[in-house]
Amino acid sequence: MNTLKAFLATFSTKSRPKKMNIDSIYDIKINAINAKPINLLHYRDKHILFVNVASKCGFTPQYKDLQTLNNKYKDHLEIIGVPCNQFGNQEPNSEEEIESFCKTNYGVTFLITEKINVKGKHKHPLYSWLTKAINNGTKNSTVKWNFQKYLVGPNGDLIDYFLPTINPLSSKITKHLK
């Protein structure tokens, strides 16, 4: 019986996701595309829209609408683009090339981070928080493709996520910003 208990205890511990050792999303460390640390706490009291982005994706034109959204709601919204090369090798560029591409082609002025992983074994802690209910307190999700969006409220709670097919200017997103 003790062997069975030990086995079950080991199994249940391994299969249960572990909560991150942080108090809130504002404790997560990530760098801007220029390698400078981003202090997410600066965006407390604002909505934050995290979007995993890529330069060579069919959804790349959403950069334009993300910039429009940024301009319209800049007083209470921070958009943070998160380059990722995990979907179809659609962000193979260096961070310098990504930054130049965004500014030149779409006039992007919102924050872009360093290139990270948003899924898998080497998933960045930001996406461990965004995609795991045990961390975000709301829901589990998986990042399906480039330009999936995660909206965090001014209090640091996950509001919802939006699949890549949802345009950044959709009322599904903007209704939370009014």
What domains does the chain contain, in order, with CATH numbers?
30-174 (3.40.30.10)
pLDDT in tens, 100-141: 999 999 999 999 999 999 999 999 999 999 999 999 999 999
Q: How confident is the model at residue 9 (pLDDT cuts 50, 70, 90)?
A: low
Residue range 31-40: mean pLDDT, rounded: 97
Tokens of 28: 């997560």
84 is catalytic: no
Residue 150 has pLDDT above 60, yes or no: yes
* Residue tagged 């997560």 (tokens): 28
pLDDT in tens, 55-78: 999 999 999 999 999 999 999 999
CB 47 within 8 A of CB 176: yes
- Which residue in the list 57, 84, 102, 112 is annotated as catalytic? 57
Q: How many CA atoms lie within 13 A of 99 on its CB side?
A: 12
Alpha helices in the chain (DSSP H): 2-15, 62-73, 95-106, 125-131, 133-136, 171-174
Write phi, then psi, for 47 (nearest 5 degrees): -75, 150
Among 78, 66, 67, CA closest to 40: 78
CB 135 within 8 A of CB 128: yes
